[in-house]
């Protein structure tokens, strides 16, 4: 039993141990390159450990954690995202004025927090994972302390995250008062015979949704998103958009399934309202932006709305569409932010839309990679984003949720404008500005481009031949 617990927890133990090991390497005053390679190896090691844990079909570690197929799937996605961000971070931070070594410690800690969320089945582990993730993000967002907008973004996130944690804790307390338990399954059993939610439980759940809604950046808890995305270092922005939201969405999905929340009309009405408003407002706000990071920030609000729409039916097809779209979103958004990272200079991030003018004529490969990522986010056929949205629509129409399906289609059409505006800039005249002509680190630049090209091929592969990913998702989905 102890051996099985160790195998099940090996990804978490490796991530925690990696952060300590990186601190020891920093104490030995090793170079940034050595630290980066060591962290890359440790990420690969943590990802590889998931294959050993796979033999444990559903292994509870009482009373806080459970390692099953779904949690392994989410942890794999989280660690993979952290691995990609780690690779892309070298060329970005090597040119900056701050020492980038401690950045990798925080990267491991945040990944650990997101993985704890993925295996949580108890309010205590949920809160611990969320705080490990959030406290690490405070440091990552404000990492370049010589830049005032980084510090501003870090302070904003600190204040708003503290408020959201307070709402979350108060909501947990009210649910514990109603049910006498903090374990998801036991809470669900206490509601089994009820046809409607008790007022106290509903109040607690509403407060919890405020805290979770902040982490997911859905409307009306989205105020922080654009400022944080713009102010944070670009690799950190990509990390927030993938790892942070993936872990929170996973624990929300597990909680709803364990309490069978899909049979309560009041709760479903709240989720539908949040999803519909997020899709509409996210896309409308993105239309007004001239900063690429702010465009991706507001579009992420809409995409989290799409994921909530996928969750609402609660059917097997619905859960598969959630997992499929989450994989597609993570791969696509990492590709998009990877281009921003490569094009950023020592002084400025490549976030001004005018700086992409004529990019195709100077860097045709980067322009094509970015175009594929944007087309996938827009849901254009032959990309993975189209298949993901199609599955969400099919799940909603099958369950009779016509309103959410209609809003998804309309909001996706609105989103086409700002994605195509960036693409048109890249293929227009030859007046681009914020582009590097000389590479101080050509090997790492080449590695980064190869990684992005591989992700782009995945986007096209899943868009033209989605059955492989669908089979994979069906195998690992929540049972």
Rounded-to-integer distance, Cα 478 and Cα 356, Å = 41
Q: Are residues 354 and 240 in the same domain?
A: no
Residue 304: inside a domain:
yes
pTM of the model: 0.91
Rounded-to-integer distance, Cα 292 and Cα 374, Å = 11
Q: Are residues 462 and 316 in the same domain?
A: yes
Rounded-to-integer distance, Cα 419 and Cα 415, Å = 7
Residue 134: inside a domain:
yes
Q: Are residues 245 and 386 in the same domain?
A: no
Rounded-to-integer distance, Cα 42 and Cα 20, Å = 11
The 10s digit of each residue's pLDDT in 17-73 is 988 898 898 888 777 788 888 888 999 998 888 887 766 667 777 788 888 888 888
Q: Are residues 243 and 273 in the same domain?
A: no
Residue 103: inside a domain:
yes
User: Is residue 302 predicted with pLDDT exceeding 80?
Assistant: yes
Residue 179: inside a domain:
no
The 10s digit of each residue's pLDDT in 174-195 is 999 888 888 888 888 887 777 7
Residue 177: inside a domain:
no
Exposure on the CB side of residue 430, measured as CA atoms within 13 A: 2
The residue segments making up the domain with residue 347 are 264-479
Q: Are residues 88 and 116 in the same domain?
A: yes
Output the average pLDDT for the chain. Answer: 85
Q: Are residues 246 and 156 in the same domain?
A: yes
In the numeric block, the tokens 């597609």 are attached to 328
Q: Are residues 446 and 469 in the same domain?
A: yes
Q: What are phi and psi of 381, to 5 degrees?
A: -55, 155
Q: Are residues 245 and 330 in the same domain?
A: no
Q: Are residues 237 and 335 in the same domain?
A: no
DSSP reduced 3-state for 143: coil
Q: Are residues 297 and 438 in the same domain?
A: yes
Residue 208: inside a domain:
no
Rounded-to-integer distance, Cα 89 and Cα 36, Å = 9
Q: Are residues 410 and 359 in the same domain?
A: yes
Residue 171: inside a domain:
no
Q: Are residues 300 and 322 in the same domain?
A: yes
Residue 214: inside a domain:
no
Rounded-to-integer distance, Cα 159 and Cα 141, Å = 13
Q: Could you give the number of structural domains in the chain?
A: 2
The 10s digit of each residue's pLDDT in 359-389 is 888 888 888 999 999 999 988 888 888 998 9
pLDDT category of residue 458 using cuts at 50, 70 and 90:
very high
């Amino acid at each position: 039993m102890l051996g099985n617990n160790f195998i099940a927890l090996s990804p978490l133990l490796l991530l925690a141990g990696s952060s300590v090991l990186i601190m020891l390497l920093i104490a030995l005053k090793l170079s940034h390159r050595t630290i980066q390679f060591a962290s890359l190896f440790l990420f690969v090691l943590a990802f590889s450990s998931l294959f050993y844990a796979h033999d444990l079909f559903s292994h509870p570690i009482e009373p806080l954690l459970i390692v099953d197929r779904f949690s392994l799937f989410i942890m794999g996605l989280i660690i993979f995202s952290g691995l990609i961000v780690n690779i892309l971070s070298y060329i970005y931070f090597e040119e900056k004025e701050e020492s980038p070594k401690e950045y990798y410690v925080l990267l491991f800690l945040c990944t650990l927090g997101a993985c704890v969320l993925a295996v949580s089945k108890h309010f205590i582990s949920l809160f611990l994972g969320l705080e490990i993730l959030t406290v690490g993000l405070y440091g990552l967002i404000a990492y370049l302390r010589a830049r005032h907008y980084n510090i501003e973004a870090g302070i904003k996130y600190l204040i708003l995250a503290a408020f959201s944690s307070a709402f979350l804790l108060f909501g947990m307390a009210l649910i514990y008062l109603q049910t006498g338990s903090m374990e998801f399954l036991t809470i669900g059993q206490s509601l089994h015979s009820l046809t409607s939610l008790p007022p106290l439980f509903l109040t607690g759940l509403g407060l919890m949704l405020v805290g979770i809604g902040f982490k997911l950046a859905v409307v009306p808890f989205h105020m922080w998103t654009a400022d944080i995305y713009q102010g944070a270092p670009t690799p950190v922005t990509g990390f927030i958009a993938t790892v942070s939201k993936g872990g929170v969405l996973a624990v929300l999905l597990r909680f709803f399934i364990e309490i069978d929340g899909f049979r309560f009309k009041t709760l479903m009405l709240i989720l539908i309202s949040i999803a519909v408003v997020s899709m509409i407002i996210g896309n409308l706000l993105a239309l007004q932006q001239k900063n690429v990071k702010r465009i991706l920030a507001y579009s992420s609000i809409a995409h989290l709305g799409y994921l909530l729409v996928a969750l609402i039916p609660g059917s097997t097809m619905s859960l598969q569409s959630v997992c499929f779209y989450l994989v597609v979103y993570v791969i696509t958004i990492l590709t998009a932010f990877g281009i921003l990272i490569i094009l950023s200079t020592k002084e400025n991030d490549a976030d001004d839309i005018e700086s992409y003018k004529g990019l195709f004529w100077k860097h045709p490969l980067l322009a094509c990679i970015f175009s594929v990522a944007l087309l996938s986010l827009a849901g254009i056929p032959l990309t993975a984003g189209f298949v993901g949205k199609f599955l969400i629509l099919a799940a909603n129409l099958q369950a009779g949720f016509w309103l959410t399906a209609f809003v998804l289609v309309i909001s996706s059409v609105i989103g086409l404008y700002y994605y195509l505006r960036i693409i048109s800039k890249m293929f227009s005249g030859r007046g681009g500005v914020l582009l590097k002509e000389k590479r101080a680190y050509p090997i790492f630049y080449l590695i980064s481009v190869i990684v992005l090209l591989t992700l782009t091929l995945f986007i096209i592969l899943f868009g033209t031949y989605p059955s492989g990913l669908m089979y994979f998702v069906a195998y690992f989905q929540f049972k």
